[in-house]
Structure 1
Amino acid sequence: MLAYFLIISTVLFTVFVLFSYWQERKYRNKPYYKLSDVGWRQCVPKPEAQLVHSIAFLGDVGYVATDGSDPVLKLLQEWQHSAGYNGTVLFLGDNLYPVGLPAETHRHHAAAISRLDYLLGIINPFEGRKIFLSGNHDWNKGRKKGLEYVLRQEKHVVEALQDEDSYLPRNGCPGPDTIQLAEGMLLLVINTQWWVQRGEKPMGRQEGCPYDDIEDFFLRLNKILRHNRHQRIVVAAHHPLYSNALHGGKFTIKQHIFPLTAAHKRIYIPLPIFGSIYPFYRQLFGAYEDMSHRKYRKMRKRLLRIFHQYSNIVYVAGHDHNLQHFEVRDNHYIVSGSGSKTSFVKKGGKATFTLEQRGFFVLNYYSTGELWIEAAVANENETSPKPGAVVFRKELHPVLKPIEQV
């Protein structure tokens, strides 16, 4: 009797695994759209709308090719040419893999400097704003001495671009920093890595931060949002507040059955049941970079409690290596983290759009008060659209009062 039970259980488990794997394979590298957004191709700005400002969000570009062949950077250059002076290119952190910009004596220093200089060379001729944020990898992968790494990167970027606002927030502080990009459009930058960073992190005026208690950050953030309810607010950070991917606790069947592929993609040693311990741990307790980790969870809860009081916020982050859009309580949450690599993203849930593809989001603000997002892909394989193709477009409500034309 026990033998029959074991055989039936094994067969059912195998069928379940194969079916789940087949379901995942069906939509890997294919766009997912919420039912209400399936007809997005017919949605365009009003004919009389004139572009006021455009923002390109590139997350996790730390592995871009530096030989002139990288499709994301080619797509960025095309966008730079069209956006011109009325554009902002914003790098959402993890600008350098694996550990940011180490000291000159470190074995990775030369390669990191070369990669960073190549990226700076691509954007330096751009007439618009150029802004870098920091991510966990820029902070020595979130480990001790991370502050030294990020300050070294900040100094290099600011000196190269000759712009004090090209790396925000400054001095590794939490922020928030604000820049008025256009009339009716405010950029607000937060250093979310500060909350989850291990080791030294700055706080207090003696370290270049404008307050001595982190609670003052939340008071300052709420004050900025309250005083700017009349305009669009774009919040840029590295860590997403909603995600259907790894850092949001979503794993593939392969990761449950072959958990050692997390260490190396070729280690296909089946460990069913035991292999699920690692994904379940990441879902329940999390690494420092996961939403389920207590520090990340606390930060996310505080930020959302404030954001939910308003309805004019677009929050954009990287961290997960894919493209995602969520609409929650009249605000919009975007993940644009596939600047140099991709990873699995689960369809459905609260998401209106997801795609496991290299590319980035663009936010366009028009004279009519309309605000639109577009997701463009940059690489090509047998299942993807052609490079540079827009794969999602959506107007972000509410529409505010039209801008007065000069």
Structure 2
Amino acid sequence: MGYVAAALVALLSVWLLLRHWRERGYRRRVWVAPHYRAWTEATPPPPASRRFQVALIGDTGAVATTGMDPVLSLLQGWLQTAGEHSAVVLLGDNVYPTGIPPQHSPRRPAAEQRLLAQLRIFELYSGQVIYLSGNHDWNKGRPNGLDYVLRQQALVQEHLPTAHFLPADGYPGPVTRQLAPGVLLVVLNTQWWVQQGARPLPPEGTSPFQELLQLLRQNQHQQVIVAGHHPLYSNAIHGGKFTARQHLFPLTTVHKRAYLPLPILGSMLPVYRKVVGAAEDMAHPRYRHLRRRLLRVLHQFPNIIYAAGHDHNLQYFCQQGGHYLVSGAGSKTAFVQQGGHAAFVHEHKGFFALDFYDNQEVWLRALEPGTSPGAGQEVFRWPLTRSTIPLAPAPAGFAEKSRFRGA
């Protein structure tokens, strides 16, 4: 039995090393499913004027507080170009690691600086700023998390009174904001469903999911963005996707240099998070319930746009006629697996932008910092509402090696 076990460990180790080598070949490269790439390269954006723009950026909680942060610099350039006919939606996890601690905490000054570094770039911005909260803003879901998020809300309102912190006071939502004629934002506090401890309850006899369904039915004549912190589709860690390195060297999940090989034993944590799930994972019962109920509503509305952060990368999925974004690369990056149901993924800092045109088309763009300060590059674009698009499912396992740059 000892020889069999040793042989199994050896075989598993070799397989993980080969998988690790393959992952190194595509990590941090733009991946676009072939159908999407071919169609977009042959189809330029419409000649019509852009009537409104929305930047969707999540997980900005670790931005640089000294010097200029590359993503904030990119966002600032976008703000100057977009002007007053635009909005920025910050998708939660605005302050790492645990939101805004109490005033007496030694961690308070650093936490405030991270939030203020973001708020400063909006001081001269004439568009709309909407903040959401994420699990880290709620003290990583601990029972006293409501106090942390209320302190953050107060700081945002103090230093940027024109901003909106939604839903206010820790309620689940949904709440709406009319961004422009025909463009509606619906905001959900998805952390409310997975949060431990105190959380404000909605009025008795109301159901957030029923309210959302009613809102979407009433606004089918509009172009609707639903925003929450937690993604509903993901090829990254919260969706149960782990690297070979995390299987073989599981302690690198805690510290990136902890290279202690633990084959088989090391796979227990990824398997647990994929099957059972930590509180922030899709597999966790509370998150699974939230996802199932939300998708049951959203799948009824073609062309719905759902935007989230949480996973530290950029991902786009087209499922059941709806558009599902993961834009959590505002200050960190993490592994994202290519293929599957995804149309586009990239392990890189940046954010998604939505362009609303006069002819009613909506285009999605992935924007990332360039090589020089303040410069940016568009690495993916796709029309979300053009009815002539043949939305064939993207084949799994396709590896696109070259970068796509839009016109």
TM-score normalized by structure 1?
0.91
- Deviation of 1:119 (Å): 1.2
2:41 aligned partner: 41
Equivalent pairs counted in the alignment come to 386
Residue 179 of structure 1, aligned match among 168, 177, 180: 177
1:208 aligned partner: none
3-state secondary structure, aligned to 1:369: coil
CA distance in 1, matches of 2:252, 2:172: 35
CA distance in 2, matches of 1:99, 1:179: 27
Residues 281, 14 of structure 1: alpha-carbon distance in 2 compared, 3 angstrom cutoff = closer
1:396 aligned partner: 384
1:91 aligned partner: 90
Aligned pairs (5 A) from 1:248-397: 248-378=239-369, 388-397=376-385
**Structure 1 gaps, min length 5:** 205-210, 401-406
Checking the alignment, whether the CA contact within 8 Å between 1:240 and 1:316 is kept in structure 2 is: yes
1:102 aligned partner: 101
3-state secondary structure, aligned to 1:389: strand
- Deviation of 1:335 (Å): 0.2
Checking the alignment, whether the CA contact within 8 Å between 2:303 and 2:384 is kept in structure 1 is: no
3-state secondary structure, aligned to 1:154: helix
CA distance in 1, matches of 2:185, 2:223: 9
Checking the alignment, whether the CA contact within 8 Å between 1:101 and 1:153 is kept in structure 2 is: yes
CA distance in 2, matches of 1:143, 1:379: 37
Residues 19, 150 of structure 1: alpha-carbon distance in 2 compared, 3 angstrom cutoff = same
Residues 271, 11 of structure 1: alpha-carbon distance in 2 compared, 3 angstrom cutoff = closer
Residues 100, 9 of structure 1: alpha-carbon distance in 2 compared, 3 angstrom cutoff = closer
3-state secondary structure, aligned to 1:123: coil
- Deviation of 1:68 (Å): 2.9
CA distance in 2, matches of 1:7, 1:201: 50
Checking the alignment, whether the CA contact within 8 Å between 1:229 and 1:312 is kept in structure 2 is: no
Checking the alignment, whether the CA contact within 8 Å between 1:72 and 1:379 is kept in structure 2 is: no
3-state secondary structure, aligned to 1:287: coil
CA distance in 1, matches of 2:114, 2:16: 41
CA distance in 1, matches of 2:379, 2:101: 37
2:233 aligned partner: 242
TM-score normalized by structure 2?
0.91
CA distance in 2, matches of 1:293, 1:380: 39
Moved more, 31-40 or 367-376: 31-40
3-state secondary structure, aligned to 1:38: helix
Checking the alignment, whether the CA contact within 8 Å between 2:12 and 2:264 is kept in structure 1 is: no
Checking the alignment, whether the CA contact within 8 Å between 2:30 and 2:346 is kept in structure 1 is: yes
2:26 aligned partner: 27
Checking the alignment, whether the CA contact within 8 Å between 1:59 and 1:93 is kept in structure 2 is: yes
- Deviation of 1:379 (Å): 5.7
- Deviation of 1:103 (Å): 1.0
2:138 aligned partner: 139
CA distance in 2, matches of 1:212, 1:379: 50
Checking the alignment, whether the CA contact within 8 Å between 1:255 and 1:262 is kept in structure 2 is: yes
CA distance in 2, matches of 1:187, 1:216: 19
2:62 aligned partner: 63
1:191 aligned partner: 189
2:209 aligned partner: 218
- Deviation of 1:9 (Å): 4.5
CA distance in 2, matches of 1:11, 1:272: 9
**Structure 2 gaps, min length 5:** 389-407
CA distance in 2, matches of 1:395, 1:7: 52
CA distance in 1, matches of 2:77, 2:244: 38
Moved more, 33-42 or 78-87: 33-42
The reply on whether 1:201 has 2:183 as its aligned counterpart is no
Checking the alignment, whether the CA contact within 8 Å between 1:358 and 1:379 is kept in structure 2 is: no
CA distance in 2, matches of 1:42, 1:181: 31
- Deviation of 1:8 (Å): 5.8
Q: Deviations over 1:240-267 (max 9, x none)?
A: 0000000000000000000011121111
CA distance in 1, matches of 2:382, 2:361: 10
Once superposed, what is the RMSD of the aligned Cα atoms?
1.9
CA distance in 1, matches of 2:37, 2:16: 29
- Deviation of 1:13 (Å): 3.1
CA distance in 2, matches of 1:347, 1:108: 37
- Deviation of 1:357 (Å): 0.3
CA distance in 1, matches of 2:210, 2:182: 22
Q: Which amino acid aligns with 1:389?
A: Q
Aligned pairs (5 A) from 1:105-124: 105-124=104-123
CA distance in 2, matches of 1:261, 1:387: 32
- Deviation of 1:376 (Å): 1.1
Residues 260, 14 of structure 1: alpha-carbon distance in 2 compared, 3 angstrom cutoff = closer
